[in-house]
Amino acid sequence: MKIEEIRSVESYMRRTFNNDDITIAAPPRSGGSCEVSVSGEFIGTLNRDEDEGEVSYAFNMVILDLDL
């Protein structure tokens, strides 16, 4: 993902979840998943998908039963 896309999705997530502590880090290698954090704590991954010219972003968050 390009840095402009990352910042755009980050802004969207901050507005949607009403939380300015959400950050998205660029992947270490091109084409990899971005890491999503809240206040520096990793919470999930973000992936970009392009199909027939349409772009979408998928946020994946795993919740462990021991965290509940």
Whole-prediction pTM value?
Answer: 0.88
At residue 31, does pLDDT exceed 90?
no
Of 67, 65, 49, 66, nearest in space to 57 by CA? 49
Which pLDDT band, with edges at 50, 70 and 90, does 22 fall under? very high
Which pLDDT band, with edges at 50, 70 and 90, does 29 fall under? confident
Taking residues 37-46, report their average pLDDT.
96
* Predicted local confidence at residue 19, as pLDDT: 98
Which pLDDT band, with edges at 50, 70 and 90, does 37 fall under? very high
- Please state, rounded to an integer, the average pLDDT across all residues of the chain: 95
